[in-house]
Amino acid sequence: MPAPAATSPAMGHRGRRVAITGYGVVAPCGLGKQAFWAGLNGPGITTGRTVEMVDWDPSPYFANPKESRRADKVEQFALAAAAECFEHAGRPTAAADRFGTIFATGVGGLRSTEEQIEVLIEKGERRVSPFLVPMMMPNASGAAISMRYGLQGPNETITTACAASTHAIGYAARLIAWGMIDACVTGGSESAACPIGVASFGNMTALTSSGNSRPFSPERDGFVLGEGAAVLMLEEWESAVARGANIVGEVVGAASNADAHHITAPAPGGTGAIKCMQLALHDAGLVPADIRQINAHGTSTPLNDAAEAAAVTAVFGAGAVPVTSTKGVTGHALGAAGALEAAAVLLSMEHSLIPPTAGTTQLDDGFEIDLVMGAARPWTPGPTISNSLGFGGHNGAIVLAPAG
């Protein structure tokens, strides 16, 4: 294994710098990263308990219809986002066995599982598809990306609920920073808004009853179940520079911890989130005053938003840093949420604008955060922290910085 390059400011002073050289997005508010950006600056969701890809066509991403039918929607989204990512980034020079795939999902191929259970009940065991196992398994998306692009390095899937893709990005960056690999495709995909998914989240009272997503609002009453995928290309910095890659950002820190409190509710006061953000800042070699934007988990659920607002205030001070939640537009894409939000941060840096928290017109009493509402806010891009807080007490935070 080659020795790591000289110590840099990135990834907690522990090794090589990690460049972001491309990304791709599939989301209901926009297919492709620039359409996604336009969607993030659009109106909030007011249409129901789910927001899904309308008229989704997987055919451009597969050789033939048979191939696409054998892939669950979650895998189709992943391959579509990966295609844009490779088009944007180009092909890194990393050897195949030092080119990893660290991917994420919350539930995997739930749609295929539901469909084939119906087949079993209605038509019998012999009619169940022999392709169900590779369609439903959570690692299908990462496996498909790895096979399509010949990536022979570590191919691992993280399934830490709603924190999964933030964890994946942080882990992928560490593998590069520590010299274990030289490039990595990372991110997450999700498509769980099928009847069983909606019924289960609805019956646990996690979903909105009003059909709105309003993060940090006094009127918030649950999340809108979203779907989509985002894929990022990470590379060792010097290699990216040497091949003339267009570096769009840098992963400078990441952290992961657990509330160890409750299967669905966050720890009171956001104690786990406080520690997670502090760990991410330490990993990045930064202090709270260095952070210029916070992309909040901001799900529009009563307990989550209250805990996160308290945690942000505890770490950064009252109203000290602009905060936004993109879930007012995207809904909550579960295991893909962190990857979509990382893409939103990169676009925010590109356009020098912080997108507004769509759907929210008033900040809840007692929340001492500077929530961006109404319209995008101009800013000078700088280090940004993105939070993901998952069921089971999983917390994740990554710190992204502009290129250079």
Q: What is the pLDDT of residue 14?
A: 62
The answer, yes or no, to whether residue 379 has pLDDT greater than 60, is: yes
Alpha-carbon span 247 to 76, nearest angstrom: 27
Could you tell me where the DSSP H helices lie in 11-64? 33-40
Phi/psi of residue 42, each to 5°? -100, -170
User: Are 208 and 328 a contacting pair, CB within 8 Å?
Assistant: no
Alpha-carbon span 182 to 235, nearest angstrom: 6
Alpha-carbon span 139 to 136, nearest angstrom: 9
Q: What is the pLDDT of residue 277?
A: 98
Number of H-type helices and E-type strands within the chain? 13, 14
Tokens representing 214 are 């309003």
Average pLDDT over every residue of 292-320: 97
The answer, yes or no, to whether residue 4 has pLDDT greater than 50, is: no
* 64, amino acid identity: N
H or E segment to which residue 339 belongs: helix 337-351
Model confidence pLDDT, tens digit, residues 237-256: 999 999 999 999 999 999 99
Phi/psi of residue 158, each to 5°? -105, 130
In percent, the amount of the chain with pLDDT more than 70 equals 97
The answer, yes or no, to whether residue 395 has pLDDT greater than 50, is: yes
Average pLDDT over every residue of 184-201: 96
- Please tell me the chain's helix, strand, coil percentages from 3-state DSSP, rounded to the nearest 5: 40, 20, 40
Confidence at 46, pLDDT banded by 50, 70, 90: confident
How remote is the C-alpha of 268 from its chain's centroid? 24
* 181, amino acid identity: I
Which residues lie across from 320 on neighbouring strands? none
Please identify which residue in the block is written with the tokens 């529009």.
300
Alpha-carbon span 102 to 289, nearest angstrom: 31
Alpha-carbon span 334 to 22, nearest angstrom: 22
Count of Cβ atoms closer than 10 Å to residue 240 Cβ = 27
Question: The domain 18-249 belongs to what CATH superfamily?
Answer: Thiolase/Chalcone synthase (3.40.47.10)
CATH 3.65.10.10 fits 254-401, yes or no: no
pLDDT mean across residues, the chain: 95
Per-residue DSSP letter, 16: -
Complete DSSP assignment for 204-219: TT-B-SSS---TT-TT
Per-residue DSSP letter, 367: -
H or E segment to which residue 395 belongs: strand 394-401
Catalytic residue among 88, 167, 332, 394: 332
The answer, yes or no, to whether residue 5 has pLDDT greater than 50, is: no
Q: What is the pLDDT of residue 7?
A: 36
Average pLDDT over every residue of 159-164: 97
Alpha-carbon span 305 to 308, nearest angstrom: 5
Alpha-carbon span 263 to 258, nearest angstrom: 11
Q: What is the pLDDT of residue 3?
A: 39
Complete DSSP assignment for 113-154: HHHHHHHHHHH-GGGS-TTHHHHHSTTHHHHHHHHHHT--S-
Domain borders along the chain are 18-249, 254-401
Average pLDDT over every residue of 149-171: 98
Average pLDDT over every residue of 390-401: 96
The answer, yes or no, to whether residue 104 has pLDDT greater than 90, is: yes
Catalytic residue among 88, 167, 297, 394: 297
- State the burial class of residue 41 (Cβ atoms within 10 Å of its Cβ: 0-12, 13-18, 19+): middle
Alpha-carbon span 158 to 138, nearest angstrom: 9
Give the side-chain half-sphere CA count within 13 A for 220: 33
Phi/psi of residue 349, each to 5°? -70, -40
The answer, yes or no, to whether residue 185 has pLDDT greater than 80, is: yes
Average pLDDT over every residue of 309-332: 97
Is 394 an active-site residue?
Answer: no
How remote is the C-alpha of 12 from its chain's centroid? 22
Catalytic residue among 162, 184, 194, 276: 162
In percent, the amount of the chain with pLDDT more than 90 equals 94
Alpha-carbon span 6 to 13, nearest angstrom: 10
The answer, yes or no, to whether residue 12 has pLDDT greater than 60, is: no
Complete DSSP assignment for 250-264: EEEEEEEEE--S-SS
Give the side-chain half-sphere CA count within 13 A for 99: 17
13 vs 100 pLDDT, higher one: 100
The answer, yes or no, to whether residue 56 has pLDDT greater than 80, is: yes
The answer, yes or no, to whether residue 11 has pLDDT greater than 60, is: no
Q: What is the pLDDT of residue 2?
A: 41
Confidence at 47, pLDDT banded by 50, 70, 90: confident
